[in-house]
């Protein structure tokens, strides 16, 4: 019989409060409000959260994107390793590159056994080889395909019970409501939202039955910061965040936790799979360069994902632009509701 993992809930709450104190002391909150007020008074609003964050930093304000697990918190790291040592399996979707690959390696480095999938056979096989004996199962799976996800779940459950589910697979889209076709909407929602729903549907009932587990759904800074010109992607990520918050009370009484990870600009290859409504080749090149030059490393997101396991964290922004947007959504909602709504 598997012994229940140590309760990291209270430790996680303390860590989250320390992290928010670092990111949002009084001076930072005041600066967010001041910059937000300036933006509300301008004729044109720059909605790029990374550039707004840089504007804050020119005021001498730095938003700290700090992982729960760090060199200065060895106690939390030890507790996490004990928790993972009692886990049977960790499932990571979209594990072929970027955040998914980094997350699989982060869990493996802490002794976890993994079941991974990706839509690209060559990539998932390569990551499985990198993980070696830590990889218990690897499959080529399109998370938006219901029968494919059902088959993947059946194969994973045959290997062993799942204690951690990371719904990470996703695709990008650049274009607003007026440019997006219905095929574009289907493409984005099928993977980004239905893929997460499929993962939750096929894996959480067994977790609830066992009375333990943690679901991590990868949303985005655009899950609470609705930048214009990205409507299908924004809708998909708002949906993932809403799903996570809605399922938390239901799962909590069953001993299962759920967290939404909300990364900002991350240096991954998502641009390669992004559809552009007005594609001329230059859009993709510019986006790829911005992600490459200004994005946070995917290993930072992986550390955040691993760090929330066993805690009661509901929403975890990652990267400075995500922390800024999260602060705006809490302290300057008019900046989102009034100005973004009139763009």
- Dump strand ranges (E) for the chain: 90-92, 114-118, 135-140, 164-167, 173-174, 213-218, 256-263, 275-276, 315-318
Q: Measured between alpha carbons, how far is residue 332 from residues 32, 34, 56, 298, 336 in Å?
A: 8, 10, 14, 28, 8
**Nearest to 127, CA basis, from 156, 152, 105:** 105
**Nearest to 275, CA basis, from 179, 175, 169:** 175
Active site residue 233: yes
**Nearest to 145, CA basis, from 122, 119, 124:** 119
Question: 164 with 87: CB under 8 angstroms?
Answer: yes
Question: 203 with 162: CB under 8 angstroms?
Answer: yes
**Nearest to 169, CA basis, from 196, 146, 190:** 196
Which residues, other chains included, contact 257 with Cβ-Cβ below 8 Å and sequence gap of 6+?
213, 214, 215, 248, 251, 310, 311, 312
SS3 164: strand
Q: Which of 24, 173, 233, 326 is catalytic?
A: 233
Please state, in angstroms and rounded to a whole number, the distance separating the CA atoms of residues 89 and 318.
Answer: 25
Please state, in angstroms and rounded to a whole number, the distance separating the CA atoms of residues 102 and 219.
Answer: 16
Q: Which residues are catalytic?
A: 233
């Amino acid at each position: 019989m598997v012994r229940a993992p140590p309760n990291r809930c209270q430790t996680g709450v303390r860590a989250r409060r320390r992290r928010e104190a670092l990111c949002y002391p009084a001076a930072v909150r005041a600066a967010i409000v001041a910059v937000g007020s300036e933006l509300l008074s301008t004729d044109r609003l720059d909605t790029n959260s990374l550039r707004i964050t840089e504007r804050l930093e020119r005021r001498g304000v730095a938003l700290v994107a700090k992982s729960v697990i760090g060199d200065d918190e060895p106690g939390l790291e030890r507790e996490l390793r004990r928790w993972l040592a009692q886990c049977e399996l960790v499932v990571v979707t979209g594990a072929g590159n970027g955040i998914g690959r980094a997350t699989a390696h982060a869990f493996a480095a802490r002794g976890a056994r993994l079941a991974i999938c990706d839509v690209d056979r060559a990539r998932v096989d390569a990551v499985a080889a990198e993980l070696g004996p830590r990889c218990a199962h690897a499959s080529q799976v399109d998370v938006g395909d219901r029968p494919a996800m059902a088959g993947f779940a059946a194969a994973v459950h045959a290997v062993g019970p799942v204690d951690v589910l990371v719904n990470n697979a996703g695709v990008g889209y650049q274009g607003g409501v007026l440019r997006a076709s219905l095929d574009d909407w289907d493409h984005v929602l099928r993977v980004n939202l239905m893929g997460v729903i499929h993962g939750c549907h096929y894996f959480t009932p067994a977790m609830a039955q066992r009375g333990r587990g943690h679901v991590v759904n990868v949303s985005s800074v655009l899950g609470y910061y609705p930048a214009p010109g990205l409507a299908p992607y924004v809708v998909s990520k708002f949906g993932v965040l809403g799903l996570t918050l809605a399922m938390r009370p239901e799962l909590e009484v069953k001993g299962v936790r759920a967290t939404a990870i909300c990364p900002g600009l991350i240096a991954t290859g998502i641009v390669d799979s992004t559809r552009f409504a007005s594609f001329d080749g230059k859009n993709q090149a510019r986006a790829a360069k911005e992600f490459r030059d200004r994005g946070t490393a995917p290993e930072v997101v992986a550390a955040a994902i691993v760090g929330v396991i066993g805690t009661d964290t509901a929403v975890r922004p990652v990267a400075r632009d995500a922390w800024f947007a999260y602060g705006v959504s809490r302290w300057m909602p008019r900046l989102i509701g009034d100005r973004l709504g009139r763009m």
